[in-house]
Chain A
Amino acid sequence: MKRFLHSPVAVALCAALLFLPLKDLKSAALLFVFILAGLYAAPRIRRIKIPPLPFKLPRTEGPLQILAVAVFALLPLAVKDYYMDVLIMFGIYAILALGLNVIVGFTGQLNLGFAAFYAIGAYTYALLNTRLGLGFWPSLPIAACFASLSGLVLGVPALRLKGDYLAIVTLGFGEIVRIVLNNWDAFTKGPNGIAGIAPPSMAGISLGKLQHYYYLVFLMLIAAVFVIRRVESSKTGRAWLAIKENEIAASTMGIDTTAYKLYAFAFGTFWAGIAGTLFAGKMQFVSPESFTFMESVLILSMVILGGIGNVYGAILGAFILVIMPELLRDAQLYRMLVLGICLVALMIFRPQGLIGAKDASAGR
């Protein structure tokens, strides 16, 4: 009996039975066949060794960086407008993922409300532009600093908490921001959102055209990578890593853990503000719908998928999670379903993500 219960047939049968009331007999039978096939294939697939990466990353990143920059710089010449749009979103999400990676990846503090800072950045620009007529360039630093300030405001009380509790408090903060944006009609126009935001312009030329905007986002992404890499290898970056590895040990080494965790919060959310401004400038419209909890989870998934604590991993994660759904448009309905399964599978089979962190010790 016990052996039967552990057999693939029994497992597949149970799964199909549990599924049955939600749909019809035909789908349940189909599910049974799929799971059975999967369970028989799984041990064979697992025997195939997955190499860490199909090619070895060169020790000096220079050539790879130049190649990536060249490819992305030349893309607008070859790509249709529709894909230009997708690539711009990729750039914005990559900046978001890089920012969250500072908090989650470098410092090890889980944040489930990152979309709130993205929203604060976007709404700051939207309000400054539509109410005060301020342009993109003066708004950008204001929005980024304001998002960063909100990060500090949340961080001061919240960072006394650890792990799961911190995750829940940041989640709560994210929801509060969204609900307030949704209900404060007089100021944010509630669920209708704010329309008519001016696209940025430069030297008198509007950057509203997709190709122009692409280069703007792309330059911002390069700036983000450059700055974040520099901070990562600075004294601050090493302090963050120490906190992530072992907070108590870090504090006995004289690191002011609270202060450094706050730096991480302020620095990470700064980039969320930048991304938010870019988003508002691109869409020329913002509404609370774009900043739900699912958005926070999506950004977190990018960081985890690529490899927690790895700058290039965050970008790779953003690339996969933005481009893939576009390539699989017909399977749009199943997108989030698959994402859910992937998160679980990733945690079980490859917790360090696709690329993994730079330090061997971080993969624990």
Chain B
Amino acid sequence: MLLQQLINGLTVGCVYAVIALGYTMVYGILEFINFAHGEIYMLGAYFGIVFLSLFTASGFAASNFPLAFALTVLFTILFCSAYGFAIEKTAYKPLRNAPRLSPLISAIGISIFLQNYVMITQGATDKVFPQRFGDASFHFMGASVTGLQLIIILASGLMMLGLHLFIKKTRTGKAMRATAQDMTMASLVGINVDRIISTTFVIGAGLAAAAGVMVAAYYGLVNYSIGYVAGIKAFTAAVLGGIGNIPGAMLGGIVLGLMESLGSAYISAEYKDVYAFIILIVILLIKPAGLLGANVEEKV
């Protein structure tokens, strides 16, 4: 029982962690909460359903399902990255030097817009994921892991590792770290800050999109309002680990997923969504820098 809860928690936690990366990267560079990030994840879930339905209708998915699923994920990531790019250019870039309230409200506007955009085009009722994944599962010590759970955990792990290597090893990654440290200084040494910010949004949106497809496949049902709750939880994960800190976001996501799973198993499932908020508030009040973050003195 406990082991089963841990596995379920880990699966959900990995998804939170992948979404949280988008929040934390953007916060690291712009110091701004990208409120619309959860909606990108929701868009990802919808695009996943749309593309896979197309493949299913054309008979392609029946003949070679793994390839069809891989292509679905790829297209979804491409589309959502484009959305991330477009949102940054239209709604955030003009406000880069505005008071801090402005981009946040602009992001809330985008979030409302995207929710209703999807609701109007795709309908307000739940959408069903076209393919049911088999219940083939692996058993050990009384717990079972389904194939899909394994895929989610592995894929999330790979994405996190990939991002980590990208940021640590590549030129662009180095430029991103420099921009996060000091945007003005970075631009003075010849880094194209605008391009780095765009890259950050594109990567974050791509990760959220992948998470969206995985969750759509995992739960089988998708609704236009899922982005808001998932976004808040992923944000909690980012804050829990220390916002702006990439390994922190990964750790925070997994810890949150585990706590939620254990909380709903042993305390009360009805209050499942409350745990995340309570953890968030407590963390912000006790250790706002998060688990892995350093306390930074405020600049005057």
Contact = CB atoms under 8 A, between A and B. Distances in A.
Interface residues of A, number: 49
Interface string A128-164: 0000000000000000000000000000011011011
Nearest to B87: A344
B32 A342 contact: no
Contact of A179 (B103, B111, B273): B273
Contacts of A339: 109, 112
B51 A21 contact: yes
B116 interface: yes
A220 interface: no
Contacts of A364: 99
A1 interface: no
A219 interface: no
Given A165-B284, A180-B274, A344-B109, A333 B120 contact: yes
Interface stretch (B58-66, B88-96, B169-177, B248-256): B88-96
Given A168-B235, A248-B300, A337 B117 contact: yes
Given A337-B120, A348-B95, A351-B102, A343 B281 contact: no
Contact of A334 (B33, B120, B277): B120
Contact of A168 (B86, B103, B112, B280): B280
Given A21-B79, A340-B112, A351 B281 contact: no
Contacts of A27: 121
Given A176-B274, A351-B98, A168 B33 contact: yes
A71 to B, nearest CB: 31
Please classify the interface of chain B as helix (H, G, I), strand (E, B), loop, or mixed, using the class held by over half of its residues: helix
B273 A347 contact: no
A340 B274 contact: no
Nearest to A180: B274
Interface in A162-211: 163-165, 167-169, 171-173, 175-176, 179-180, 183
Given A21-B79, A172-B277, A337 B46 contact: no
A22 interface: yes
Nearest to A165: B284
B104 interface: yes
B109 A343 contact: yes
Contacts of B280: 168-169, 172
Interface in A325-339: 333-334, 336-337, 339
A336 B119 CA distance: 11
Contacts of A48: none
A250 interface: no
B16 interface: no
B122 interface: yes
B281 A172 contact: yes
B102 A347 contact: yes
Contact of A342 (B103, B109, B111, B232): B109
B86 A344 contact: no
A164 B32 contact: yes
16 contacts: A14-B82, A15-B86, A22-B122, A157-B285, A158-B281, A164-B104, A175-B277, A176-B278, A297-B108, A340-B111, A341-B113, A343-B112, A344-B110, A347-B102, A347-B103, A351-B99
Given A171-B232, A297-B108, 6 more contacts: A167-B33, A172-B281, A297-B112, A340-B113, A344-B109, A347-B95
